[in-house]
Structure 1
Amino acid sequence: MTGMKWQGSRGQSRGFTLIEVLIALAIVAIAMGAVLMALGALSTNVEMARSRLLAAWSADNVLASIVAAGQWPLLGRSTFPCPQGHYLFVCRETVTQLDSALLREVEVRVYGGGATADILADAVTVIENESFQ
C-alpha cells in the first residue's frame, strides 16, 4: 500500500466555480433588466400614440359635425367633452372671423381628460357662409 498515491480534487476540474456562476447570473440579470425597461418604454409609447390617434379622430368628428350641420358657427370659444371609446377627452373649439366676412376659421384642440394640459390633437378648418351665395 505504500506505492499508492491519493488524488484529491486538484487533478482535473470539471464544471464552473461558484464565483463564475454568480458573475454569469449577474450579467444575465442586468441584461434582463435592460430588456424590461425597453419593453416598458415601448408600451408607454404605444399607449401615447393610441391616445393621440383617437384624439385626432375626436377633433375630426367635431369639425365634420360642424360642416354637416350646415350652420354658420358662432364666434368665440367653447369647451366640451368629446370621448372616444374609453378615452375621456376634452375638446376646445375656437371660432374666429377671417378677413372675409363670409369665412370663419374653426380650430379644435383636444386635451386629455386628466389633470394634464397637454394638447393631444389639433385640427383647423375654414367654414364658408353659404347663405350669402
Structure 2
Amino acid sequence: MIRQARVRGFTLLETLVALAILAIALSAAFRAVGATTGSADGLRERLLADWVAQNRLAELRAAGTFPPLGRNEGEAEQAGQRFQWREEVKGTPNPLFRRVDVTVFDEDGHRSLSSLSGFAVQPLQ
C-alpha cells in the first residue's frame, strides 16, 4: 500500500485576512505619502513668499531713499508663481529710522504666507 503525502496550503479565509491586512497597510502608506507631498508643496510656497518679502526689503535698501509713512501694495512673481505683497511703513521713536512690515499673500490675496519686518534708515547728508 502506497501512502500519499497530504499537501496543505492556505485556506481561503487565511488568504482573505492576509489581503485585508495588506490593503490596510498600503492605504496607510499611500496616505502618508500624500500628506508628505502636500506639506512639501506648502513649504515650497512659503519659501517663495519669504523670498518675495526679502526682495521687497532689499529693493527699499538698494533704492537708498527714505520711504514715506503709509501702505504700499503690489504683485511679484517668484519661480513662475504670482504673489501679492503689502508693506506698511511706520515711524519709530528715532526719526531717522522707519519700520517696514512686509506681508506676502497668495495669488488671490486671501491667505497670508509670509511676514517680514525690516528698518529703513534716512541717508545722512
Instruction: Answer whether contact 2:84 2:109 (CA < 8 A) is retained.
Output: no
| 1:67 alignment partner in structure 2 | 61
Q: Take 1:75 and 1:82, find their aligned partners in 2: how far apart are those partners? A: 22
Identity %: 40
| TM-score, scaled to structure 2 | 0.90
- 1:113-124 correspondence to structure 2 within 5 Å: 113-114=107-108, 116-117=110-111, 119-124=112-117
Distance of aligned partners of 1:116 and 1:17 in 2 relative to their CA distance in 1, 3 Å threshold: farther
Superposed displacement of residue 13, structure 1: 4.4
Q: Take 2:53 and 2:76, find their aligned partners in 1: how far apart are those partners? A: 8
Matched, 1:84 2:45: no
Instruction: Give the stretch that moved more between structures: 108-117 or 82-91.
Output: 108-117
Over alpha carbons, which structure has the higher Rg?
A: 1
Superposed displacement of residue 120, structure 1: 1.3
| 1:58 alignment partner in structure 2 | 52
Matched, 1:95 2:89: yes
Structure 2 SS opposite 1:79 = strand
Deviations 1:92-123 (CA, angstroms, capped at 9, x unpaired): 11101111221111111111113632x21111
Runs of 4+ in 1 over 3 A off after TM superposition: none
List alignment gaps of at least 5 residues for structure 1: none
Structure 2 SS opposite 1:55 = helix
Q: Which has the higher strand share?
A: 2
| TM-score, scaled to structure 1 | 0.85
Aligned length: 123
Instruction: Give the stretch that moved more between structures: 31-40 or 47-56.
Output: 47-56
Q: Take 1:28 and 1:77, find their aligned partners in 2: how far apart are those partners? A: 57
Instruction: Answer whether contact 2:76 2:83 (CA < 8 A) is retained.
Output: yes
- 1:7-18 correspondence to structure 2 within 5 Å: 12-18=6-12
Matched, 1:23 2:17: yes
Superposed displacement of residue 12, structure 1: 2.8
